[in-house]
Structure 1
Amino acid sequence: MTPPSKSAKKSPFSRKGAAAPTAEAFDMAFQDKPRVGSVVSVTGSHALVMLDEDKPGDDRASRPQLGAIMSVDAGASIVLGLVSAMSNPAPSLDPSVPDMRIIEIELIGEFTKPTINAPARFKRGVSSYPTLGDNVHVATRDELTALFSVNGAASVRVGVVKQDAQIPATVNVDEIFSRHCAILGTTGAGKSCAVALLLRAVLQRFPHAHIVILDPHNEYGKSFDGRTVVFDPQSFSLPYWMLTFDELVEVLYPGRSRDSEEIEILADLLPAAKKMNLGAAGRGGRLRTDSTAITVDTPIPYRISELLGLIDKALGGLDGARNGAPYKRLRSRIYTISQDARYAFMFGGLTVQDTLKSMLSDLFRIPADGQPISVIELGGLPADVVQVVVSVVSRLAFEFGLWSKGAAPIALVCEDAHRYAPADPNEGFAPTRRSLIRIAKEGRKTGVSLWVASQRPTELDPTILSQCNTIFAMRLANQADQEALRAAVPDASTSLLSCLPSLGLGEAIAVGEGVPMPTRIRFDALPGNAVPRSLTACFTDGWSVEIEDNSFIDRIVEQWRAQRMLTPDLE
């Protein structure tokens, strides 16, 4: 039997089923690694390293690179840091005189050396700082493997570490959901593929999840191998009586002040309309029968016809001294909106029934029945309609988590989140913004997770971005977006973000609580049939042929006037 080669010797780092390494073995393993330099300066969370002269046999893989993970023997621990800058401050023109080469590393965490009672473990932060003259090495594969396997049973693989493609990049499922997650990057960087890949990896380990995707580009319906229920504008139903008073007012009077006469009248009459239908609604479900508890926000079915009847009754009871114009305007507005084809998913039902239980079951996939993901396709709907849908879905998710005390955790994935929660509080749909901010602030307590995907971090509400404790930053070329991201990252690893403009397709800077330490990763490739495909017009195809169909314009005008979008077949 041939003896094992030196390269095949057992790793000193703890692995499942293996004995914990001794401190002596740990030190010996560190000494066996090729040294690349020594510490010449330590300032807070940074250290300067002077590199040794290159040896003839060295290859590029063994040299420090920007973003590479380095290790420093700091006595009681092995300190890990990221290369944040490289320089040659005084280059020499004489090739026989070696240059002074300096790298700057950002100290991120450390491996505690094993003891009799405890194995080697990685932890964030540095308790034992390097000193001048300490040896510096490029982190080995064993160290990286031990580092990225610390998430344990709650972790899933999503890609590989850019520094060494043999090391799987893992994320902690509990952390990326309970503390929220953001996927940021410019158009074409691979955000949608990253979202699909992350969710597929989670579903492979946890098939009984409850996930809702707000899909403005209609691209996720076929990304999860039949494990989705797709709600399109024709199949999605969101009864108007589920709206809060603020949401209903925004539908009727976008941007209108809450102290206008029509809105005050509506606030007075709405509870009465709900009480009129309370008995009939109560027979369909176990609703509270105490009419004194009904407010303008109570989700109890009522009929638009009965609300209009109450307005007519109030209008008829006015004396000659009072002005009936506000009542007439309110009645006209309610009737117009209820007949608008764009709002057919709200007002289109022929009967009013208490469908809250069935809607919550279908929307949040409880039970999942092998389809744990709901995809709500919003593409093609008018912007104001989309805002209402996002507002109600996000609010229902939070309130369901609140009243269920997180017994069935829900994840809400919001694509193009800057549309619904803009940084400028005067823009967008106020109830939508408030609902998403509330989830970002309090969702962890109620078992509701928020994932946001955006190409413009500067246009996304900073409160939401700051609450996302795991961020996957993909290619971002805009300087303002990079600065917004630097202000939001939860680690001191902002130097990694200097690589954002040069990241390749499918690459990301992963920072936050969901990953062991900030690093550059490359996401795994999705199967061809799972790649999200959005509705994007092809100009070359459209301009290559002449439209000779005389009825083409007629059909377009008919759809336009009917306010009904026909979604083209993607096959």
Structure 2
Amino acid sequence: MKTARRLWRSGIMTPHKSGKKSPFSRKGAAAPTAEAFDMAFQDKPRVGTVVSVTGSHALVMLDEDTPESDRSTRPQLGAIMSVDAGSSIVLGLVSAMTNPAPSLDHSLPDMRIIEIELIGEFTKPTINAPARFRRGVSAYPTLGDNVHVATRDELTALFAVNGAASVRVGVVKQDASIPATVNVDEIFSRHCAVLGTTGAGKSCAMALLLRAVLQRFPHAHIVILDPHNEYSKSFGDGAVVFDPTNFSLPYWMLTFDELVEVLYPGRSRDSDEIEILADLLPAAKRMQMGGSGRASRLRPDGNSVTVDTPTPYRISELLGLIDKAVGGLDGGRTSAPYKRLRARIYAVSQDARYSFMFGGLTVQDTLKDMLSELFRIPVDGQPVSVIELGGLPAEVVQVVVSVVSRLAFEFGLWSNGAAPIALVVEDAHRYAPANPDEGFGPTRKSLTRIAKEGRKTGVALWIASQRPTELDPTILSQCNTIFAMRLANQADQDALRAAVPDASTSLLSCLPSLGLGEAIAVGEGVPMPTRIRFDALPPEAVPRSFTASFTDGWSVEIEDNSFIDRIVEQWRAQRMLTPDID
């Protein structure tokens, strides 16, 4: 706005009045002529004129208010404005408003300036092509061009549903009669992020977006990694919910790094026990494969089995190999690391908390069945898999996320994208933190690989996070559609600004003041950056977001003698104590 002050002080800019104009209205033609397009634009009430154009910004000096003008015709922060640039109608967002030199004499008009970020344009219709919106500006406004608040008809055309490729998710904040739509192909093929502080409505927004897509495309394949056990009821009978009682992730599906993380969380790979495991694990896998000849078919060079080969093997045979190795040690080598490794493998395999990995009585190749169940192929009326991570041991949650994301990418790769999969990751900053020294490396690698290459293999990544500053910037930058909900932390706002296009950053100044269920929608999945309000979810579909009430909990005495017993029982069984919801 410094430019506006300089122009005003130099006397170049002076307030001017506008005459009364009739409102813009369509004449009903599907493809109006260029002349009709111009006449319709001229019929709209002008609010000001262009007085400065610099790159992607324009300064507009507003007309003096007339007695009959009302608030609805005034520009507001974030409002969409239109400028006739000759060959096109340029659209922009109000990014700033100021009165650089307010007058103390109320009889004199004030000079009011707004700044507009130029976003896109409506091409004027021709004989061969109708009017349509496109991003970017091919013809810039010139000084003196008339500026108008975008009308309902323009907004309707701008946010119009693009056939079967778009779905409604809410309304445009500027005009609640205009539905806000998203392009399904864009938000999945180019990934999507829902960001916002705690309590802003991220989970509800995520559930609403997915439900809107599923209503139009019921044969989708969606996997939700749910660390807070929120989504079990959000999709009704359309979801299969996996918890520690019915979730199975056989240990032999783990890569070597993932297995080491289960056995020795956070330990480096240069310890004696891990070196011994790397030597003996391929032999255990070969024993299970036996003489079926399958090994020779895996790789023609004969080196068919490695520590990462996803083939079944028995823990008992691995323990037997360790015992055999101890018996063959010469006098110069100690058996201590072998014994420690054996004890650790046995302890983990017998731990009830790890039964979803080691609980099978028999070892069978269930990879086909697991992929079918996990990725909902066939859908059979249940296109969503919800994996509740809240009840799993904290030490292995990272491994579970790593395995599921790795399987999703590999499935997409080897199926050539024939059955596209969407992987939804709640609290993504836990699994792909910005600090490379934190988290679990294979998990970050799997998620980053999907973010970078998932578009080619038909694997979409949707992330939700309350701390964008703690999220790997590579992953966030690959999300080409972002729904930014209320964010009060300045560092989080800065991280978000670094991830969105420059032409959308002005809207982000509204982030701290967004209401519940409101978002700034930017990216390829929406027609243009705008402020929207999500539709309300039906009560039965609202994710279960439990916040403990201190006032309720401290208002009554706990007289149930079995209360502590139940907590201890569930603590030992690693089952979450969650409130009952009718």
Match of 1:548 among 552, 556, 559: 559
Corresponding position: 1:82 with 2:89: no
Give 1:282 shift: 8.9
Q: 1:439 to 1:61 in 2, by over 3 A?
A: same
- Cross-structure match for 2:259: 248
**Are the equivalent residues in 2 in contact too, given 1:216–1:378 (CA < 8 A)?**
yes
- Cross-structure match for 1:231: 242
Give 1:259 shift: 2.2
- Cross-structure match for 1:69: 80
Give the Cα separation in 2 of the matches to 1:87 and 1:9. 30
Report SS of the residue matched to 1:328: helix
1:14-71 per-residue CA deviation (whole Å, 9 max, x = no partner) reads xxxx541110010011000000000000000000000000111111111000000000
- Cross-structure match for 1:108: 119
- Residue 425 of structure 2 aligns with an amino acid whose one-letter code is C
Corresponding position: 1:359 with 2:373: no
- Cross-structure match for 1:534: 545
- Cross-structure match for 2:379: 368
Corresponding position: 1:493 with 2:504: yes
Corresponding position: 1:142 with 2:153: yes
- Cross-structure match for 2:69: 58
Give the Cα separation in 1 of the matches to 2:297 and 2:562. 52
Report SS of the residue matched to 2:503: coil
- Cross-structure match for 1:15: none
Alignment of 1:500-539 (within 5 A): 500-539=511-550
Corresponding position: 1:414 with 2:415: no
Corresponding position: 1:186 with 2:208: no
TM-score normalised according to structure 2 size = 0.93
Corresponding position: 1:309 with 2:328: no
Give 1:437 shift: 1.0
Match of 2:465 among 451, 454, 468: 454
Can you give the 5+ residue segments of structure 1 that lack an aligned partner in the other structure? 1-5, 13-17
Report SS of the residue matched to 1:277: helix
- Residue 391 of structure 1 aligns with an amino acid whose one-letter code is S
Q: 1:326 to 1:212 in 2, by over 3 A?
A: same
Give 1:378 shift: 1.4
- Cross-structure match for 1:275: 286
Alignment of 1:10-409 (within 5 A): 10-11=26-27, 19-149=30-160, 151-279=162-290, 288=298, 292-409=303-420
Give 1:482 shift: 0.5
**Are the equivalent residues in 2 in contact too, given 1:51–1:102 (CA < 8 A)?**
yes
Report SS of the residue matched to 1:494: helix
Give 1:491 shift: 4.8
Give the Cα separation in 2 of the matches to 1:544 and 1:492. 52
Give 1:490 shift: 3.2
- Cross-structure match for 2:8: none
Q: Which moved more, 1:428-437 or 1:205-214?
A: 428-437
Give the Cα separation in 1 of the matches to 2:293 and 2:487. 53
- Residue 460 of structure 1 aligns with an amino acid whose one-letter code is L
Give 1:537 shift: 3.0
Q: 1:173 to 1:286 in 2, by over 3 A?
A: farther
Give the Cα separation in 1 of the matches to 2:374 and 2:200. 30
Give the Cα separation in 1 of the matches to 2:30 and 2:240. 47
TM-score normalised according to structure 1 size = 0.94
1:104-147 per-residue CA deviation (whole Å, 9 max, x = no partner) reads 00000011111111111111111100000000000111111111
- Residue 226 of structure 2 aligns with an amino acid whose one-letter code is D
Give 1:280 shift: 9.1
Give the Cα separation in 2 of the matches to 1:286 and 1:416. 42
Q: Which moved more, 1:466-475 or 1:19-28?
A: 19-28
Give 1:548 shift: 2.5
Give the Cα separation in 1 of the matches to 2:564 and 2:327. 47
Q: 1:131 to 1:281 in 2, by over 3 A?
A: farther
Give 1:279 shift: 4.2
**Are the equivalent residues in 2 in contact too, given 1:122–1:150 (CA < 8 A)?**
no
Report SS of the residue matched to 2:236: coil
Q: Which moved more, 1:65-74 or 1:543-552?
A: 543-552
Report SS of the residue matched to 1:493: helix
1:408-461 per-residue CA deviation (whole Å, 9 max, x = no partner) reads 000001111111111111111222111111111111111100000011101111
Give the number of equivalent residue pairs: 560
**Are the equivalent residues in 2 in contact too, given 1:182–1:465 (CA < 8 A)?**
yes
Give the Cα separation in 1 of the matches to 2:286 and 2:419. 31
Q: 1:550 to 1:527 in 2, by over 3 A?
A: closer
Give 1:263 shift: 1.4
- Residue 254 of structure 1 aligns with an amino acid whose one-letter code is P
Give the Cα separation in 2 of the matches to 1:447 and 1:372. 16
- Cross-structure match for 1:479: 490
**Are the equivalent residues in 2 in contact too, given 1:281–1:287 (CA < 8 A)?**
no
Give the Cα separation in 2 of the matches to 1:88 and 1:258. 64
Corresponding position: 1:463 with 2:460: no
Q: 1:58 to 1:255 in 2, by over 3 A?
A: same
Q: How many percent of aligned residue pairs carry the same amino acid?
A: 86
**Are the equivalent residues in 1 in contact too, given 2:296–2:304 (CA < 8 A)?**
no
Can you give the 5+ residue segments of structure 2 that lack an aligned partner in the other structure? 1-21
Give the Cα separation in 2 of the matches to 1:225 and 1:372. 11
Give 1:77 shift: 0.6
